């Protein structure tokens, strides 16, 4: 076998290995620092002064390795995006000054009446239609860097929400 040909083949494999390791390192560096979170929506009962009130609990958990800050939240119903305002909440989500470090969890309590008024904005008022709208709907939370975390309304949540 020709020594020059063997040397060329070995150098080609070494170059491919070097390029592959650089590409993998860049990929790992970029994607390991992405913002990742889980958003969960559930019904809760609030008890104040011996009165019960249904509300919506929205929990966000940072499951990634990067810190992030929340920017705003929207509720998507019937192909319409409605921005949730602070007055809609009994307990709002943390503002953009709160840093969500990896593993950090925060909860927010949205008034049931606020969600109902948002549903009424799309001209729906019976439980069957509300159920259909919520099945297609979702809550989206945005970070200051533009990432979006979305949670669909679960069947259990919809059933409980439409029960009252």
**CATH number, domain 37-163, options 3.30.70, 1.20.58, 1.10.10, 2.60.40:** 2.60.40
Q: Structure pTM?
A: 0.74
What percent of the chain lies above the pLDDT cut of 70? 96
Q: What is the pLDDT of residues 9-22, one digit of tens each?
A: 999 999 999 999 99
Short-list 21, 54, 60, 28, CA closest to 41: 60
CA dist., res. 135 & res. 125, Å (int): 15
Average pLDDT over residues 144-152: 89
Q: What residue segments make up the domains of the chain, in order of their start? A: 1-32, 37-163
Q: Which is more confidently placed, 29 or 58? A: 58
Tell me how far CA of residue 114 lies from CA of 24, 90, 101, in angstroms. Answer: 47, 10, 30
Give the C-alpha distances (Å, rounded to integers) separating 131 from 3, 139, 150.
Answer: 75, 15, 19
Task: Return the minimum-mean-pLDDT range out of 27-36, 111-120, 128-137, 152-161.
Answer: 27-36
pLDDT class for 38, splitting at 50, 70, 90?
very high
């Amino acid at each position: 076998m020709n020594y020059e040909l063997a040397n060329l083949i070995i150098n080609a494999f070494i170059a491919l290995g070097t390029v592959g390791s650089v590409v993998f390192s860049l990929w790992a560096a970029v994607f390991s620092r992405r913002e990742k979170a889980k958003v969960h929506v559930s019904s809760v009962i609030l008890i104040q002064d011996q009165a019960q009130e249904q509300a919506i609990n929205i929990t966000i958990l940072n499951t990634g390795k990067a810190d992030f800050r929340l920017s705003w939240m929207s509720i998507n119903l019937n192909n319409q995006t409605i921005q949730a305002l602070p007055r809609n909440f009994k307990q709002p989500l943390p503002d953009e000054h709160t840093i969500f470090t990896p593993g950090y969890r925060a909860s927010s309590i949205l008034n049931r009446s606020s969600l109902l008024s948002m549903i009424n904005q799309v001209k729906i008022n019976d439980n069957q239609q509300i159920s259909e709208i919520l099945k297609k709907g979702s809550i989206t939370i945005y970070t200051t860097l533009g990432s979006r975390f979305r949670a669909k309304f679960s069947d259990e949540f919809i059933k409980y929400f439409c029960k009252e």
